[in-house]
Structure 1
Amino acid sequence: MPTVLRERGFRLFFYSDEGSPLEPCHVHVTKGDGEAEFWLGDEVAVAFNHCMNRRDLAMAMMIVRANRSALERAWHGYFG
């Protein structure tokens, strides 16, 4: 699970096996016991949320949006 970014207590990462066929470009975000997945692309969207409270989810969304280009580059660099 390559970690791409750590910010404000959040860890942004990819799973090494993102499905076959490969799922669309996205990032997983954890903080404490919560985890969310965000689709990247023209519009950042929450794919799922597991136990992340509203405040943390909003902050995670802000971090993902602010770093979207770098996250997309990291995705394509890792998965090809």
Structure 2
Amino acid sequence: MPTVLRSGPYRVYFFSHEPNEPPHVHIDRDDKSAKFWLHPRALARNFGFPLHELRRIRTLIEDNHEKLLEAWYGHLSTKR
């Protein structure tokens, strides 16, 4: 479960055992969690984040989109 980004209170990561899903990341803060698809960029699910915070997280995903995709494909290419 590599962490690919930390920003403020957020930890952005993905699970190594999900290679058959489209590129996505999980975001945690305290007891809250969300999942965002990277292509197309969209919220997949949310567990506890209020809407204003999801907007902040979406901006974080947008600002780091290329880095997150590189981490996804780079990590999965080493698993094959």
Same fold (TM over 0.5): yes
Pairs within 5 Å for 1:31-46: 31-41=29-39, 43-46=40-43
TM-score normalised by structure 1 residue count: 0.89
Aligned to 1:60: 57
* Matched residue SS, 1:11: strand
Aligned pair partner of 1:75 in 65, 72, 75? 72
TM-score normalised by structure 2 residue count: 0.89
Unaligned regions of 5+ residues in structure 2, if any?
none
Q: Is residue 24 of structure 1 aligned with residue 15 of structure 2? A: no
State the identity %.
38
Number of equivalences = 77
The residue identity in structure 1 corresponding to 2:68 is: L
Unaligned regions of 5+ residues in structure 1, if any?
none
Q: Which segments of structure 1 move beyond 2 Å, counting only runs of 4 or more?
A: none
